[in-house]
Amino acid sequence: MSGYSEDIVYKKDILEKELPLISKPVSPAKILEKVRDAQN
């Protein structure tokens, strides 16, 4: 989870593109979606 937007995180190579990222602000539904995706 990051307070930075996805484009900044990936442009600055803070996180590998294959890893899941949740950018704030985030809804509970989006967190649940990302968790379910990571479990598959």
pLDDT digits (tens, 9 = 90+) for 16-34: 666 667 777 889 998 899 8
pTM above 0.75, yes or no: no
| pLDDT value at residue 28 | 93
DSSP designation for 23:
B
Q: Is the peptide bond before 20 cis (omega within 30 degrees of 0)?
A: no
Percent of the chain whose pLDDT exceeds 90 = 12
Residue whose token pair is 């509970």: 28
CB 22 within 8 Å of CB 31: yes
